[in-house]
Structure 1
């Protein structure tokens, strides 16, 4: 089963303020690549101090980085036609949708699922389902709130869930993972 996990970090509370994106590519149930890019957000140099305290990315870190609009031709091929998975997908895909809308760019043709949702269905009874808690439970080591590391951790967690449920193909995903795959709109 092939998929791509993604994670965004944002500069402000506005969803169209990504300052970092991470992508992990999984082919034949193997993590084959993890990439990340710092992004000069639309609101540069305005960063919210709370966001900085979470991810540690500062305006100086992105001063010479491309904007999302400049980076999109590089990122889009990783997403086009893929099954995309994010932990708390409602956040990450709202960042993607809002940022693409801000720059008047079309959404990629893709499908998506949420590792937070399927984790709640698969591992019932936990006190928390955040990425850190689930990764600690499964002994997945990562640097939380950095996009590449979070995307890689989400991929590793998804592979654990696929193994746990015996899911071998995307067509089995909704039934065995107890979570839908949705068209990105």
Structure 2
């Protein structure tokens, strides 16, 4: 049975290591079995995307940096087949950027992009997260890392229920 983890980052600015929030949803046997959400203090006080996610430096100033939260979330990646993300290139870049900045070895796992999955399996257009969630009737509080990661997990769960299998073309 497919085991995976869905991930979503919110970032303060356009630097790959500027994560200010992370959401994770671990899936086993077709259901979410563990979730985590953390605010993260990025290396810089520059916040360019408050208008998107609502977070400011004040919200994260006392939060741990990425190195401080990594020990709390690293085990969630153990034993999974892949990491899923909506627009996976972005979240992969942020994960690797944060790991590089703090000298952490990133998980050596493939990424599955739920944008591509929704396009290929259901021909959903447009494929922004709210559009895919609306198509699949998945609740979403968009640009909240916990809700976005949960929604991403539910997209893959829906694909599995429709007969899609990871690694099968």
Query: Helix, strand or coil for the counterpart of 1:122?
Result: helix
Match of 1:157 in 2: 155
CA-CA distance at 1:63 after TM superposition: 1.2
Matched, 1:148 2:146: yes
User: 1:108, 1:54 → 2: CA distance?
Assistant: 28
Match of 1:181 in 2: none
Query: Helix, strand or coil for the counterpart of 1:14?
Result: coil
Match of 2:137 in 1: 139
CA-CA distance at 1:95 after TM superposition: 0.3
Query: Helix, strand or coil for the counterpart of 1:174?
Result: coil
| TM-score normalised per structure 1 | 0.85
What are the ranges of 5 or more consecutive residues in structure 2 without an aligned counterpart?
none
CA-CA distance at 1:111 after TM superposition: 2.8
Across the aligned residues of Structure 1 and Structure 2, the Cα RMSD in angstroms comes to: 1.3
| Structure 1 stretches of 4+ moved >6 Å | none
Q: How many residues align?
A: 167
Confirm or deny: 8 A CA contact 1:80 1:109 kept in the other structure: no
User: 2:59, 2:115 → 1: CA distance?
Assistant: 30
What are the ranges of 5 or more consecutive residues in structure 1 without an aligned counterpart?
179-185
Match of 2:47 in 1: 47
Confirm or deny: 8 A CA contact 1:81 1:111 kept in the other structure: no
Query: Helix, strand or coil for the counterpart of 2:166?
Result: helix
CA-CA distance at 1:42 after TM superposition: 0.7
Query: Helix, strand or coil for the counterpart of 2:111?
Result: strand
Matched, 1:118 2:117: yes
Confirm or deny: 8 A CA contact 1:80 1:110 kept in the other structure: no
